[in-house]
Every structure is written in structure tokens, then in C-alpha cells.
């Protein structure tokens, strides 16, 4: 036997994934927002997988991802601020630690609102978000 390479079959080239139907596009776009309840990973995964397959999903997943990144930043900032205040006050301000959960509560509320808007085919823009992904 000889170990010669066979010429590549032109019909065996990897094909582009099929575009999403309108209902699939709306479904994945709404899931990108609803995934915000769990954090930024669902929005990131949906955007990376479906950004080239559906324009609506691309737009809405980016919006959801930008909002979730903003909430992660706010959460980190609050934890740092709370830790400093509790340390400086020798624990007297420890009840303020309850505010560390505010970004998560805000994220859940706005993610549900966005999901309800997007599942009906409407675009949703969060009232505040640092738009890092354009």
C-alpha cells in the first residue's frame, strides 16, 4: 500500500450552517435575554453560536451580553465598596452587605422584561448598559 494523499473532494468542503428561520431567530434571541437570570454565559454562548445565522439573535444577544457584563461590573464594584466600608467601620456597617445582591435582582427583573418583549418579535434596549460589544 502506498500512503499517497487523495485529492480533496470539492463537494466535501465544510458548509455554512443554515440560517435560522424567523421563529428560531426569535426563540434564540429571547433565550439570550432570559439566560441573564443565570449570568452572562448563556448570552455569550448564544451570541457566539448564532450571531451569523440570525440578525435578530445577533442584535438581541449582544444587547443581553452587554447588560450582563455591566451587571457583573456593578456587582464587583459593590462587593469591593462593601468590603472596604465594613472593614473601616469594624463591622458596624455589615448590614449594608445586603445591597451586594441588588445587581442580581435588577438583572433578573430586566432579563424577564426583555424576554417578554423579544419573544413577541420586538427589539429591547436595556435602560442602562455599557455597550462593549458593538
- pLDDT on residue 50: 92
Listed as own residue / partner, the contacts of 111-115 with beta carbons closer than 8 Å and 24 or more positions apart are 111/33, 111/34, 111/35, 111/36, 111/37, 111/64, 111/67, 112/34, 112/37, 114/33, 114/34, 114/36, 114/60, 114/63, 114/64, 114/67, 115/30, 115/31, 115/33, 115/34
Report yes or no on whether pTM surpasses 0.95. no
Question: Which stretches of the chain drop beneath a pLDDT of 70?
Answer: 1-14
- pLDDT on residue 98: 87
- pLDDT on residue 102: 92
Q: Do 61 and 31 meet the contact criterion of CB atoms below 8 Å apart? A: no
- pLDDT on residue 6: 60
Amino acid at each position: 500500500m502506498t500512503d499517497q494523499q487523495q485529492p480533496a473532494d470539492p463537494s466535501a468542503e465544510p458548509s455554512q450552517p443554515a440560517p435560522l428561520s424567523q421563529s428560531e431567530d426569535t426563540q434564540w434571541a429571547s433565550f439570550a435575554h432570559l439566560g441573564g437570570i443565570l449570568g452572562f454565559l448563556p448570552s455569550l454562548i448564544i451570541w457566539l453560536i448564532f450571531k451569523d445565522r440570525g440578525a435578530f439573535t445577533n442584535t438581541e444577544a449582544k444587547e443581553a451580553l452587554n447588560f450582563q457584563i455591566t451587571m457583573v461590573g456593578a456587582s464587583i464594584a459593590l462587593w469591593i465598596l462593601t468590603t472596604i466600608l465594613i472593614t473601616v467601620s469594624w463591622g458596624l456597617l455589615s448590614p449594608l452587605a445586603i445591597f451586594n445582591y441588588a445587581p442580581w435582582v435588577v438583572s433578573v427583573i430586566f432579563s424577564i422584561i426583555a424576554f417578554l418583549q423579544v419573544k413577541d418579535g420586538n427589539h429591547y434596549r436595556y435602560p442602562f448598559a455599557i455597550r462593549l460589544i458593538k
